[in-house]
Amino acid sequence: MIRKTILVAFTAILLIACQENKFKLQYDHQNVLYIEKSAIPELEINESVYVPAYSDLYYESQQKKTFFTVILSLRNISFTDTLYFTNIDYYNSHGKLLRKYIDQVLVLRPMESMEYIVEEAEKEGGTGANFVVGYSAKANLKNHPFIESIMMGNLDNYRFAFTSPGVRINK
């Protein structure tokens, strides 16, 4: 009896929470700094990071897909160093550039973070979608940024999320 009550309560909470207007993602990034590329100081480190972003995945067969909201999370995990993000590009499974998220340089001061969102309704990315993120920093950088994607979706009445870490690449 208790198990059934818990199941009914959990299902009710899940149904209420999954209403479309409850999951509008809003962020207050009024203090985030963007600068022109010409204003970047002299920097010795220039890196690129590849970040898998599963905008959809197959399940049961190749005819069934579930789609995800993808959040690209950029985190400056340094207490002392500033990072300069020069490009944030989103590609589909076939390597086609779908979107350039910034046209200026994003400046993340120590311990600052920023997110970029690919909404579930955007179904162009595919199972092999990805971001390529470029950043620059001074030579004595103590900690490289922590960059990952978070995929959130639902299948039947279940909501779930998983992450995918970024890896540094040579361009």
SS3 93: coil
Average pLDDT over the chain, rounded to whole? 86
Which 8-state DSSP code applies to residue 20?
Answer: G
Within a domain: residue 98? yes
Q: Which residues face 87 on adjacent strands?
A: 134
Q: What is the mean pLDDT of residues 50-66?
A: 86
∠ CA 140-86-122 to the nearest 5 degrees?
135
Within a domain: residue 67? yes
Within a domain: residue 14? no
Within a domain: residue 7? no
Which domain covers residue 57, as residue numbers? 30-169
The reported pTM is 0.80
pLDDT of residue 6: 54
- Domain with residue 156: its CATH number is 2.60.40
Residue 149's Cα: distance from chain center in Å? 4
Within a domain: residue 44? yes
Is residue 25 scored above 50 in pLDDT?
Answer: no
Within a domain: residue 39? yes
Torsion of Cα atoms, 120 then 123 then 129 then 134, to 10°: -70
Within a domain: residue 149? yes
Full 3-state SS string of 33-101: EEECHHHCCCCCEEEEEEEECCCEEEECEEEEEEEEEEEEEEECCCCCCCEEEEEEEEECCCCCEEEEC
- Say which residue, 90 or 62, is predicted with more confidence: 90
Within a domain: residue 115? yes
Tens of pLDDT, residues 73-100: 999 999 999 999 999 999 999 999 999 9
∠ CA 49-91-87 to the nearest 5 degrees?
45
